[in-house]
Amino acid sequence: MLLENPSKNQACSDRALVCKFDMSSSKVSFEKKPLFERSANGQFNFRMVWDGNKNVLLKATPFRGSTIKLSSLNSDYNIKELPLSQSSDPLVIKDPSGTFTVYNDKSQLIVEASGKKRVINLPKLYKTIIPYPLLVFGDENNYQVLVTFNTPSAETKGLIVGKLLLAKVTDKGINWQQVTGEYCSFIADEGASVAKFDDQIYITACGTVKTLDLKKEKLVLEDYKPINDILSTIKQKFQEAPIQLSFGVYKDYLLFTAQSSQEKWLWIMNKGALVGRIHIDSVNNRIESHVGQQSSLETLPGKPTFDMLILPTSLYGTYK
């Protein structure tokens, strides 16, 4: 969780604290020693890839005329900073090692794994489009990449929509599969959040959540009712803009968050059922947690930033 650091004078100064949620007692606790501190002037991009354990990758990129500095890195964790001097900016970072990345180069996808580069060309039918990788999973010799691109709608004149392709890559070659259906753009505005959990891919689309069942021969995005039903309970708080979601995975749990300017929510699911939830009141600096009939209310050890929640991912990488 990113909390403001009031002792600093920079325009933006905060610290990251590891938050632990005990599912047996419904209690939330914070490690006293920050994971890192961050200070900046101006605008910047920030990425953190975390396995939920001791391995963390940080990538901070200032915009022109801006500065950003990471400091006080916690030596109890294996923290790696991705250098700014890389020849290409990875859109997808698979894990905290930073050695498996995916990015685009015009109409090609470039996969770099352990210093080896592989060019993935799209099928001839799509050779003029610009592909954007959303998700990668697997190992360096046998992996899959979920790709999106924008295209004019075949159903509604004048509408630009997003479509998906899945590439299965092995030493023997590449097998492409098209996902049936068209949806709102997965890269417009803040883009889509994506997660892989077991044999399902979860992806946000137009303020709702859809799933892609990898066990099925034909790939079709379908509405995921358990999460969409949860989101319907807070939709009245998002009248001016669609709900922006973020996914994460930790051990046997699928995690997802939503936030408004004053409130933030975290839900924990297991086998399609809601097993825990956290509500954060940013105005009063309080965090309320629930598991079954148990609940706990604590005061946050600092004022939360807008992008305060960073979730762990496991066995997959995304571009957010």
Q: What pLDDT, on the 0 to 100 scale, is given for residue 82? A: 86
Q: What pLDDT, on the 0 to 100 scale, is given for residue 306? A: 77
Q: What is the pLDDT of residues 235-271, one digit of tens each?
A: 888 766 667 889 999 999 999 999 887 889 999 999 9
Q: What pLDDT, on the 0 to 100 scale, is given for residue 26? A: 94
d(CA 16, CA 14): 7
Q: What pLDDT, on the 0 to 100 scale, is given for residue 205? A: 79
Whether the predicted model's global pTM rises above the 0.85 cut: yes
Percent share of the chain, pLDDT over 90: 61
Tens digit of pLDDT at every position of the chain (320 positions): 999 887 655 567 899 999 999 999 999 999 999 999 998 888 888 899 999 999 999 998 888 888 888 999 999 999 999 876 444 578 999 999 999 999 998 889 999 998 899 999 998 888 778 899 999 999 999 999 999 999 888 888 888 888 999 999 998 899 999 999 888 888 887 788 999 999 999 998 777 899 999 999 999 999 999 999 999 998 888 766 667 889 999 999 999 999 887 889 999 999 999 999 999 999 899 999 999 999 999 999 998 887 789 999 989 999 87
Q: What pLDDT, on the 0 to 100 scale, is given for residue 8? A: 56
DSSP per residue over the chain, as a string? -EEE-TT--SSEEEEE--EEEETTTTEEEE-SS-SEEEEEES-EEEEEEE-SSSEEEEEEEEPTT-EEEEE---TTSEEEEPPTT-SS--SEE-STT--EEEEEETTEEEEEETTEEEEEEPPGGGTTS--EEEEEEEETTEEEEEEEEEEE-SSSTT-EEEEEEEEEEETTEEEEEEPBS-BS-SSSTT---EEEETTEEEEEETTEEEEEETTSSS-BEEE-HHHHHHHHTTGGG-SSSPPPEEEEEETTEEEEEEE-SSEEEEEEEETTEEEEEEEEETTTTEEEEEETTEEEEEE-SSPBPTT-------SEEE--
Q: What pLDDT, on the 0 to 100 scale, is given for residue 41? A: 85
